[in-house]
Structure 1
Amino acid sequence: MLSHTPSLNLGILAHVDAGKTSLTERLLHAAGVIDAPGSVDEGSTQTDSLALERRRGITIKSAVVSFPIGPPGDRVTVNLIDTPGHPDFIAEVERALGVLDGAVLVVSAVEGVQAQTRILLRTLRRLGIPTLIFVNKIDRGGARFDATLRQITQRLTPAAPAMGTVHGIGTRQARALPHGPGDDGFRRRLAEVLAEQDDELLGAYVEGASVPYRRLIRGLSEQTRACLVHPVFFGSAVTGAGVSPLMDGIRTLLPRVREGGGRGPLSGTVFKVERGGAGEKIAYVRMFSGALRVRERVPVGRVPGGPDGSAYASGRLVGERGADREPGHGPYESKVTAVEVFHEGAVERRSEVRAGEIAKVWGLGEVRIGDWVGEARKDSPDAHFAPPTLETVVVPGTETDRGALHLALAQLAEQDPLIGLRQDDVRGEVYLSLYGEVQKEVIQTTLAEEFGLDVAFRETTTICVERPVGVGHGYEKDLPPFLGTVGLRVEPAPPGSGVAFGLEVELGSMPYAFFKAVEETVHETLGQGLRGWRVLDCKVTMTHSGYWPRQSHAHATFDKSMSSTARDFRQLTPLVLMDALRGAGTRVEEPVHHVRLDLPADALSPVLSLLGRLRAVPGTPEIRGAVCSVEAEIPAASLHRLGQLLPGLTRGEGVVESSFAGYRPVTGEPPARPRTDHNPLHRKEYLLVVTRLR
């Protein structure tokens, strides 16, 4: 049996181009896993495996690599996850955060604290992920020690003690020197930071008593693991300066997961899915408890709650008395056919994977990102990254096979569940939802290089949503050609509650399959409201039901023309639901972002004027000497334009930080989106099409 050392699943996060992939290479080299660090510029890094990643020098897909740190008696196996830094790939970051035990946030000593850096640390703190800060590029011209540390304490967190100092900063000979027990200034500053959260230390500090260095380090470790303090290390991923102290900090200050011998219930989560050479699915699974063994059949299922927060995604059908039941699409079983565990820079075939480890798993044929294996975690962290707010139409080239294109896009969406596909069968078009223009380029290049498909895209548009504003009713009984009765009521629900389906009729009043058909069709139909946008936050209640029982001729042959089928309810429900939605009315809302702009004070007036032109709603500016900051809510459609124009108004000194803030009502004429269904809003045409299809 293999001996299992304590493990740590570590994330490397940063604003784009801060040097996190270079730091990954340096850590692997320092751990003895690779002979020499790879170069982002030369495209020779271990974790950037995609051709486009190597060409552009950015990380697009999360990558996992393992290495040991520490002496034999105190060794920790680090599973390092190198995540993207570009905002267009924030979905990749989101999935990585759910499996981390700790993180290293990389800051550039030249550029300082950047917009994405702030967003990432706020998210790490909210999710309770212990984080160290590594200030990179101390060997570059323009690197700053005091100014960068001041930015960290002012813009990120005041509880950020520097764990060392730098000699020769800004030169190739820059060295990072760690503080030690003999550094009285460091001990004093560390005691000040820790005393904010430690009453015992506070008392000793106030009384002027000397606190033992070992006590300070123990307190630092405890508060770091509790996400109260974020120690700061300085160094260079290129020269290796300061990497050794950082590795000591990773080993001693971040939490470890100790191997439990496979005890406890099986519980893991899938954070990445890729395809093997034969097209088979390979799931990346982080194990939280128990053991996942080859040749065993394991339950796999969806975590409650979908991307729209709908109650339907949790798999519950709510009856009139509030009771719930499973609608028949719960977890399924799959047989694990192979397991590979990340170990010391490589992957090794194993017979099992245990708690704390990350493995590549074969055999989970229907698996999707976000699925749980075994039992779902009850304490799973809640990620609050923005949904995609942009959409484009994929235009196939003249030689591109449309069937192959749709299959390829489905595989890409399978690997990234926040990429949405809408198939317009009427026009023969495919709509793709995404985060930004860089992501569009990545998808285009991936389709060309991996699938041999030539595509272009139409102009990117903003994805709006609809919300009901009143109560509406719809009812149809035995409307030809349908054999069935459906009555529905639509009403608003609290923001963020998603779409809930309930019953005011007896569950036994007709076969359960017919209720299931109505429920599923309700959720599918609400993907397009009165103006074509997805409908959020509403409650749909079935108020009437009826069906024709199974009819047979005298010779006992079933006659479906005299009997209700699930198809009757699937085709009738859209008409009834749209009647109810029309009665309730909907309000179109556009996505908005909360932005914070830091800029020179003398540029405030033109920037406020720009915000007005971009339909932003600014708050009260905060002026601090020669600099100021202003917060605002801005439509997602205007965010890209703000980023383009801000540098010219601020002499290149303006910085914008944004985060998704929800939706707000559209002013003026609400936009509409072309429908991709048979349009139940046009009753006559809908009936003609449905009748022809029966």
Structure 2
Amino acid sequence: MQVWLRRFPLLRRSFSDMTRTRNIGISAHIDSGKTTFTERVLFYTGKIKEIHEVKGNDKVGAKMDSMELERERGITIQSAATYCKWKDININLIDTPGHVDFTIEVERALRVLDGAVLLVCGASGVQSQTMTVDRQMRRYNVPRLTFINKLDRAGSNYLTTYNSIKQKIPVRSALIQLPIGQEDTFSGIIDVIERKAYNFQGRYGEIPTEIAIPENMLEKTQQTRQELIENLADVDDFIGDKFLNGETLTNQEIKDAVRRSTIALKFSPILMGSAYKNKGAQLVLDAVGDYLPSPYEVKNVGLDLDKEEAKVELKIDPKLPLVCLAFKLEENRFGQLTYIRIYQGRLKKGDYIINTSTKKRTKISRMVRMHSNEMAEINESEAGDICALFGIECNSGDTFTDGTVNYAMSSMYVPEPVISLSIRPIEKNAGIKFNKALAKFQREDPTFRVKIDEESNETIISGMGELHLQIYAERIRREFELPVELGAPAVNYRETIHGRADFNYLHKKQTGGNGQYAGVQGYIEPIPDLKPGELVPSRFVDKTIGNNIGGEFKAAIQKAFLECCKKGPQVGYPVLNLQYVLIDGQTHVVDSNSNAFMTATKQSFRHAFPNAKPTVLEPVMTVEITAPHDCQATVINGLVKRRALVKDTFTRADGTAGIIAEAPLAQMFGYASEIRGNTQGQGEFSMEFSRLEPVDPGALEELKMHYQEKVRREGNDDD
């Protein structure tokens, strides 16, 4: 333990002064530099001794990308927590993924954080996931700083990026910094409030050095400062009064107004720099302390379950009853690790806590503070803090108390999955390990869903995108040493007929002793008087006259017919809207039995079905798409290639294009990736079942061929 204390001196600090604590997240569009920025934060705060790059050549990788898959792919997959100290401010920090497939990681982090840093690429500006993150921050009322990153890159332009922020992000923003130079000449930053300039000396820019503001930037600095004051005057009464009266504002008055307006969710100060070039991260850390709220300054509300979920304000007071939220679950070699945000009260090792969802009482046996994938033992934590517990059985989003109150925190928003794939273990007899893996990932990730298709018996996994599901398949291979195979799930086709076909089949078999003898006569036809689009199970109709066939044999005939309808002869899917009409039959006093009549029925059905104008029906989906207007033609062309019929196009209230189309479900697999690619990540779509329609003849032949191959491969014989 002494080693941990020496390595992490923050563990010795008291958490009693939460006014000096900041719980923040780092969020952005993919490849905007979040993890690179966080690596600099850890270095400048003394948490790490060397800087490693996300896609570096040293095969170490950034500290917060601890998963091997993250380092291989150069992306963040799971949010990672750490803690550090900058000057007199204690910081709990969560680095979140940028890829839309892992948006739940951002969602649950922002659910428990008090503030955030929103990174925007200085070359690309506001992108699709930037706007998604903005919506998430506004959903949970999270104040934010905005950091324009990558100003060293070719094509970067802080003004263009600033304008895109003002146009696309519905939170008033203004610059509090200016860059010195641009692209490859970017060398430092000007603080427009203090009217000071800095460059960054040392191997990793670890020494911010005050320099004179360049002569050619003096006027721009004053203009930007004045613009900042004008923006603050619109959102802060104190500044508004001073501004209208023409009074001069002090630097501290401006900074205090920025803080008030930011915490009130009315304003976001914009900073800038280049994390990769080691410029600007220290000034962002200063701004975190200056402008983002402490836990005391954030209003948190619980629901009193004993009073019909009446709202109750939670206070950052360790003496009040404990209320904490499990916001993230993670499995490691020690068991389930549960990340906890404490909203009220104090949590100590050895305490008993109660899950208000299950009413289960559990003793706290182990508490830790996380530094990416490393952990340090702690004995207690209190209101306003974030820590992790071992040995707790719960789901993500469960609330724990000390039992003296029965409160629950409001749940986080969980988006619906947009894509599904089938998955199966390649090895036989791997069912137990396979199911264990799927159960683990479902506990970890609310957007990862698993179900068994009743008809195909396939295991279907659903998630936020193809990458999302591919990552889980790869994690099963690595973490459980179980190779799996992904594939498109089977579409729920249906078989039916459009005409009538007669049958008259006699089954005779003599093998010594009692033989088999059964004759059936009648016809198959579509069920009459159905409404257009109506789908009903196939049925048996008895129209026999006399006693040629006994009642026990009719029961066998009906049973065999219904078995035939479970797995149609064309592609192996259920047969609907068909009736099997029995009008007569033949029996033998010795050789007739139920098995003989079941065989005769199955053969009569197989012989008659091809003559009754059979067809295969496929699900047709109504697809609604939202996309930028300049991408509309590309989107429509993509739909046409998927055999879709565009029914309507229109303009939505927000100015985007709306498209409504109908498309076969079988053609829509993989569309989530296509729509993102065709719209620069800004397109969205939803699907719902519309009706069943006959399959295109070319597709039908392919389906039949695949089914016949499957029957041959499985050695299936229905006789």
TM-score band, normalised by shorter chain: 0.5 to 0.7
Question: Hey, what's the Cα distance between the residues in 2 that align with 1:592 and 1:295?
Answer: 54
Residue of structure 1 equivalent to 2:306: none
Q: Secondary structure at the match of 1:249?
A: helix
Residue of structure 2 equivalent to 1:69: 86
Q: How has the CA–CA distance of structure 1 residues 154 and 640 changed in structure 2, closer, same or farther, with 3 Å as cutoff?
A: farther
Deviation at 1:408, TM superposition (A): 1.4
Contact 1:341 1:357 in 2 (8 A): no
Q: How has the CA–CA distance of structure 1 residues 432 and 113 changed in structure 2, closer, same or farther, with 3 Å as cutoff?
A: same
Deviation at 1:89, TM superposition (A): 1.0
Question: Hey, what's the Cα distance between the residues in 1 that align with 2:681 and 2:148?
Answer: 21
1:453-500 superposed Cα distances (whole Å, 9 cap, x missing partner): 01011215899xxxxxxxxxxxxxxxxxxxxxxxxxxxxxxxxxxxxx
Deviation at 1:158, TM superposition (A): 5.9
Residue of structure 2 equivalent to 1:271: 327
Q: Secondary structure at the match of 2:479?
A: helix
Contact 2:114 2:294 in 1 (8 A): yes
Q: Secondary structure at the match of 1:49?
A: coil
Q: How does 1:584-603 map to 2 (within 5 A)?
A: 595-597=626-628, 599=630
2:356 matched to 1:301? Answer: yes
1:14-70 superposed Cα distances (whole Å, 9 cap, x missing partner): 111111011110111111111122210035111111111110011111110111112
Residue of structure 2 equivalent to 1:262: 318
Deviation at 1:260, TM superposition (A): 5.2
1:586-609 superposed Cα distances (whole Å, 9 cap, x missing partner): xx997967634163xxx7656566
Residue of structure 1 equivalent to 2:460: 431
Paired amino acid for 1:273: L
Paired amino acid for 1:284: Y
Contact 2:235 2:267 in 1 (8 A): no
Residue of structure 2 equivalent to 1:512: none
Q: How has the CA–CA distance of structure 1 residues 272 and 158 changed in structure 2, closer, same or farther, with 3 Å as cutoff?
A: closer
Contact 1:98 1:380 in 2 (8 A): no
Residue of structure 2 equivalent to 1:518: none
- Alignment partner of 1:33 out of 47, 50, 56: 47
Q: Secondary structure at the match of 2:259?
A: helix
Q: Which has the higher contact order (CA 8 A, sep 6+)?
A: 1
Paired amino acid for 2:330: E
Q: How does 1:379-398 map to 2 (within 5 A)?
A: 380=409, 383-398=412-427
Question: Hey, what's the Cα distance between the residues in 2 that align with 1:589 and 1:331?
Answer: 45
2:188 matched to 1:180? Answer: no
Residue of structure 2 equivalent to 1:57: 74
Contact 1:127 1:381 in 2 (8 A): no
What TM-score, normalized by structure 1, do the two folds share?
Answer: 0.66
Question: Hey, what's the Cα distance between the residues in 2 that align with 1:255 and 1:379?
Answer: 23
Residue of structure 2 equivalent to 1:357: 385
Deviation at 1:639, TM superposition (A): 9.7
Contact 1:166 1:234 in 2 (8 A): yes
- Alignment partner of 2:139 out of 126, 141, 145: 126
- Alignment partner of 1:443 out of 472, 479, 494: 472
Contact 1:390 1:460 in 2 (8 A): no
Q: How has the CA–CA distance of structure 1 residues 203 and 297 changed in structure 2, closer, same or farther, with 3 Å as cutoff?
A: closer
2:289 matched to 1:289? Answer: no
Deviation at 1:398, TM superposition (A): 3.1
Q: Secondary structure at the match of 1:238?
A: coil
Residue of structure 2 equivalent to 1:468: none
Deviation at 1:205, TM superposition (A): 2.8
Q: Secondary structure at the match of 1:107?
A: strand
Deviation at 1:342, TM superposition (A): 4.2
Q: How has the CA–CA distance of structure 1 residues 631 and 3 changed in structure 2, closer, same or farther, with 3 Å as cutoff?
A: same
Q: How has the CA–CA distance of structure 1 residues 634 and 49 changed in structure 2, closer, same or farther, with 3 Å as cutoff?
A: farther
1:633-681 superposed Cα distances (whole Å, 9 cap, x missing partner): 7899769648637877xxxxx53424677x756266599xxxxxxxxxx
Question: Hey, what's the Cα distance between the residues in 2 that align with 1:344 and 1:647?
Answer: 32
Residue of structure 1 equivalent to 2:682: 657
Residue of structure 1 equivalent to 2:497: none
Q: How does 1:616-627 map to 2 (within 5 A)?
A: 618-620=649-651
Contact 1:385 1:660 in 2 (8 A): no
- Alignment partner of 1:155 out of 144, 165, 168: 168
Residue of structure 2 equivalent to 1:337: 365
Deviation at 1:430, TM superposition (A): 2.2
Root mean square deviation of aligned Cα: 3.5
Question: Hey, what's the Cα distance between the residues in 1 that align with 2:406 and 2:284?
Answer: 31
Question: Hey, what's the Cα distance between the residues in 2 that align with 1:223 and 1:634?
Answer: 45
Question: Hey, what's the Cα distance between the residues in 1 that align with 2:421 and 2:635?
Answer: 30
Q: How has the CA–CA distance of structure 1 residues 231 and 668 changed in structure 2, closer, same or farther, with 3 Å as cutoff?
A: farther
Deviation at 1:390, TM superposition (A): 2.2
Residue of structure 2 equivalent to 1:225: 263
- Alignment partner of 2:130 out of 117, 121, 126: 117
Residue of structure 1 equivalent to 2:612: none
2:674 matched to 1:644? Answer: yes
Q: How has the CA–CA distance of structure 1 residues 137 and 640 changed in structure 2, closer, same or farther, with 3 Å as cutoff?
A: farther
Q: How does 1:481-520 map to 2 (within 5 A)?
A: none
1:250-303 superposed Cα distances (whole Å, 9 cap, x missing partner): 11110112595622221111122222324x22211111111122122210133x
Q: How has the CA–CA distance of structure 1 residues 379 and 237 changed in structure 2, closer, same or farther, with 3 Å as cutoff?
A: farther
Residues matched between the structures, number: 503
Q: How has the CA–CA distance of structure 1 residues 93 and 49 changed in structure 2, closer, same or farther, with 3 Å as cutoff?
A: same
Question: Hey, what's the Cα distance between the residues in 2 that align with 1:605 and 1:598?
Answer: 8
Contact 1:391 1:461 in 2 (8 A): no
Question: Hey, what's the Cα distance between the residues in 1 that align with 2:373 and 2:471?
Answer: 27
* Pair member with larger Rg: 2
Question: Hey, what's the Cα distance between the residues in 2 that align with 1:219 and 1:379?
Answer: 34
Contact 2:81 2:372 in 1 (8 A): no
Paired amino acid for 1:140: R
Deviation at 1:445, TM superposition (A): 1.0
Question: Hey, what's the Cα distance between the residues in 1 that align with 2:455 and 2:639?
Answer: 40
2:413 matched to 1:402? Answer: no
Q: Secondary structure at the match of 1:666?
A: strand
Paired amino acid for 2:166: T
Q: How has the CA–CA distance of structure 1 residues 635 and 221 changed in structure 2, closer, same or farther, with 3 Å as cutoff?
A: farther
Q: How has the CA–CA distance of structure 1 residues 219 and 339 changed in structure 2, closer, same or farther, with 3 Å as cutoff?
A: same
Paired amino acid for 1:271: F
Q: How has the CA–CA distance of structure 1 residues 257 and 594 changed in structure 2, closer, same or farther, with 3 Å as cutoff?
A: farther
Residue of structure 2 equivalent to 1:214: 252
Question: Hey, what's the Cα distance between the residues in 2 that align with 1:347 and 1:265?
Answer: 27
Deviation at 1:372, TM superposition (A): 1.1
2:647 matched to 1:630? Answer: no
Deviation at 1:439, TM superposition (A): 1.2
Paired amino acid for 1:275: E
Question: Hey, what's the Cα distance between the residues in 1 that align with 2:369 and 2:44?
Answer: 21
2:289 matched to 1:251? Answer: yes
Question: Hey, what's the Cα distance between the residues in 2 that align with 1:371 and 1:39?
Answer: 36
Q: Secondary structure at the match of 1:655?
A: coil
1:287-342 superposed Cα distances (whole Å, 9 cap, x missing partner): 1111122122210133xxxxxxxxxxxxxxxxxxxxxxxxxxx4211111111124
Q: How has the CA–CA distance of structure 1 residues 104 and 598 changed in structure 2, closer, same or farther, with 3 Å as cutoff?
A: farther
Deviation at 1:401, TM superposition (A): 1.0
- Alignment partner of 2:400 out of 357, 369, 373: 373
Residue of structure 2 equivalent to 1:417: 446
Q: Secondary structure at the match of 2:62?
A: coil
Q: How has the CA–CA distance of structure 1 residues 142 and 290 changed in structure 2, closer, same or farther, with 3 Å as cutoff?
A: same
Question: Hey, what's the Cα distance between the residues in 2 that align with 1:270 and 1:591?
Answer: 38
Percent identical among aligned pairs is 27
